[in-house]
Amino acid sequence: MNKENAAAMPRPIRIYVKTVDWVSHKVGLIAMYLIFMMIFVLLADTISRNIIQMNIHWAIEMAQFTLAAYYIVGGAHSLQMGTHVRMDLIYGQLSMRGKAWVDVLTSGFMVFYIVILLYGSISSTIYAIETDQRNFSMWNPSMIPIKLIMVFGIALMLLQVFSTFFKDLAKTQGRTIDGEPIHESSEEPVV
């Protein structure tokens, strides 16, 4: 195998994992800054309402949309970094390879859940586009942008689930996707 490690994952899988991890990481970094946008919007609303005595009708909804984009688009990065919420009564006691096996075996449930979520979000987005769906409020914003962001974030998370699956599959053999050995005490390097 031309200087490639025999234990490495096939090249297309390695390219897929590295590409998806890179995209998830970059999108996650951008998503992290959305919290500052939300703080700015809420601060502007507070100042205008309490100091200037003028209501900004769009502020609360904009903050809600920003928060939704923050956690939906940041989901793939959270999954990649392993910072998602997990019940680990038994999982935490397992070895690195044991955890990898559990993750490989349970990844099908996650794929099923995210595919259903993606199907629902696409259906909801199509409805929003066809009917020019708007939020019933004084501001009356279009729901299309947040629904498109929702589809993007869920699709990226699905791609990240498969990336994580391949990395976990390699870990069950005590290796990275490149075939390098992983020692029990070390962590796999992040993109």
Query: What pLDDT is recorded for position 56?
Result: 85
Mean pLDDT of 64-81: 91
Tens digits of residue pLDDT in 18-40: 999 999 999 999 999 999 999 99
Mean pLDDT of 115-143: 93
For the chain, give the mean pLDDT: 87
Mean pLDDT of 38-43: 92
Q: Residue 139: which pLDDT band, with cuts at 50, 70 and 90?
A: confident
Say what angle helices 59-73 and 144-171 make with each other, to 10 degrees.
20
Mean pLDDT of 170-177: 88
Given a cut of 90, whether residue 138 has pLDDT beyond it is: no
Q: Residue 41: which pLDDT band, with cuts at 50, 70 and 90?
A: very high
Given a cut of 80, whether residue 121 has pLDDT beyond it is: yes
CB 97 within 8 A of CB 174: yes
Query: What pLDDT is recorded for position 2?
Result: 44
Q: Is the pTM of this model over 0.75?
A: yes
What is the chain's Cα-based Rg?
21
Out of 51-55, 63-67, 113-117, pick the least confident. 51-55
C-beta neighbour count of 52 within 10 angstroms: 10
CA distances from 88 to 21, 91, 165 (A): 24, 5, 18
Given a cut of 80, whether residue 191 has pLDDT beyond it is: no
Tens digits of residue pLDDT in 79-112: 888 777 777 778 778 888 888 888 888 899 999 9
Mean pLDDT of 7-20: 91
Given a cut of 70, whether residue 126 has pLDDT beyond it is: yes
The secondary structure of the chain, three-state, reads CCCCCCCCCCHHHHHHHHHHHHHHHHHHHHHHCHHHHHHHHHHHHHHHHHCCCCCCCCHHHHHHHHHHHHHHHCHHHHHHHCCCCCCCCCHHHCCHHHHHHHHHHHHHHHHHHHHHHHHHHHHHHHHHHHHCCECCCCCCCECHHHHHHHHHHHHHHHHHHHHHHHHHHHHCCCECCCCCECCCCCCCCCC
